[in-house]
Structure 1
Amino acid sequence: MSTVVRPAVQRSPVRWWRRPWVGPLALVAVLFLVYSLPPYLTGDPALSRVQVPSGGVVHYPLLVGHVLFGAVAMLTCCFQVWPAFRARSPRAHRLIGRVYVVAGVLPASVLAVPVALFAPFGPVAAVSNVLLGLLWFGCTVAGWRAARQRRFRQHRRWMVRSFVLTMSIVTNRLWGPVWTVVLAPQLPTTFGGDEAFFGATVAGLTTWTGWVLPLLACQWWLDRRTPAAAR
């Protein structure tokens, strides 16, 4: 009895115009880094975009390392989520993926924990940033292990989560002005005119909404694309 060999199905490459978000995403990442990165290349804590606590001898070097490794993660992840690039250059996708993991997310997420603990933004923001760093690390390692085990469906899902957490630094900066405007009328009443209390509250809300909401939206999108039987 002869065996019927089915011809391999050739999938047409995904054209760039079918993913119109790729270009704007890369542009946002580049503009964000052009604005945020240069002060940390000077070695001067006074130029830091993030407030450095007094006597921050330990905090500032950790912050610089976190920013630099995070910049590598942001730039490389733009290539990793580009469908046409993955389809046409699988070898480059694997190489850049290793850079994203080893020289980007892993050191940046590890440094995020002490940076959060030393930061002068209060305990609510500290807990949020520590949890973000741990989830960022965990999602990325899970995605890397899935790829090593050739479980590519799970690899893509974990790496989408990792990508969302990588880019949450951008949404974090967007939520800051929103919470400032919303809570500013309550400064003389709820906060008793205490600007330090007001700033810590804004920072706490900003850090949580900056990554929790995008991650929830990401999970909804992943579940929506997964057949019910697979779920």
Structure 2
Amino acid sequence: MTWLRKPWVGPLAFVVVAFVAFSLPPYLTGDRLQARVQSDWGPHYPLLVVHVVCASIAILTCVVQIWPWFRARFPSWHRRVGRVYVLAGVLPAGVSGLVIGWMTPFGPVAQVSTVVLSVLWLTFTLLAWRAARRRQFRDHRKWMIRSFVLTVSIITNRIWGVIGFLLLADRVPEAELPQTIAGISTWAGWTIPLLASQWWLERKPRRRAVAEQREAVPV
């Protein structure tokens, strides 16, 4: 089967489902104390719940959207899932992310990173939506790849957080450690994957253009 030629689909889906299964449940209880990010600002918790729930919808649907076999085999469902990704996932998660990012307790470095990430996430997704509506499928694919990279950057963020802790735990004062790690992981979590995706989009343009024409799906 065609989808078997894309060996990354299965492992990616497994990682995403496992991440959501681990991250989402504490925010479905209504217990503020179970939130992994604590803040004294009153609206922070409900906005955080909205962000986590909607971001979970975004990351799950995005995996389906970039699956070439599903996109080619079920174009109508590709469009429907795409609407869920944008309207129930990225838009509410991105807007709530802007607010809670601005009010983050992890310092100004993480604050700027989260706000910039949210703005780019919303922008890339809306540009992908507009390109699809205009039937500009090559541009749609490029913007969606960028949107997808920012959607899953929460996973790479956690990886950089672990690396930062292992490298800095004995070198940074304990009081400064959370903000230091947050500053490093929030920036590295999305900038490195985004730069890597841009490099991938720009390599071998002729071969990629042919592949894009074959995979284009009307919306």
Taking structure 1 as the reference length, what is the TM-score of the superposition?
0.87
Aligned equivalents of 2:175, 2:5: Cα separation in 1 = 47
Residues 112-155 of structure 1: per-residue CA shift (max 9 Å, x gap): 01111112100000000000000000000000000000000000
Structure possessing the higher radius of gyration over alpha carbons: 1
Equivalent pair of 1:52/1:119 in contact (CA under 8 Å):
no
- Spell out structure 1 runs of 4+ moving beyond 6 A: none
Equivalent residue in structure 2 for 1:163, among 128, 138, 148: 148
More helix by share: 2
Correspondence for 1:52? 38
Is it true that 1:20 corresponds to 2:7 in the alignment? yes
Aligned equivalents of 1:168, 1:161: Cα separation in 2 = 11
Aligned equivalents of 1:137, 1:144: Cα separation in 2 = 11
Correspondence for 2:16? 29
SS of the aligned residue for 1:43 comes to coil
Residues 31-81 of structure 1: per-residue CA shift (max 9 Å, x gap): 0011000000011111012x211x332100000000011011011001100
Aligned equivalents of 1:143, 1:154: Cα separation in 2 = 7
SS of the aligned residue for 2:106 comes to coil
Is it true that 1:220 corresponds to 2:199 in the alignment? yes
Equivalent residue in structure 1 for 2:116, among 112, 131, 143: 131
Equivalent pair of 1:80/1:93 in contact (CA under 8 Å):
yes
Equivalent residue in structure 2 for 1:40, among 7, 27, 52: 27
Unpaired stretches in structure 1, ≥5 consecutive residues: 1-13, 188-192
Aligned equivalents of 1:147, 1:60: Cα separation in 2 = 35
Equivalent residue in structure 2 for 1:79, among 53, 60, 64: 64
Taking structure 2 as the reference length, what is the TM-score of the superposition?
0.92
- The one of the two structures with greater contact order (alpha-carbon pairs below 8 A, sep at least 6) is 2
Segment of structure 1 superposing worse, 176-185 or 145-154 = 176-185
Correspondence for 1:144? 129
Unpaired stretches in structure 2, ≥5 consecutive residues: 210-219
Amino acid at match of 1:154: D
Identity value in percent: 55
* Alignment: residue pair count: 208
RMSD: 1.4
Shift of residue 196, structure 1, vs aligned partner: 2.6
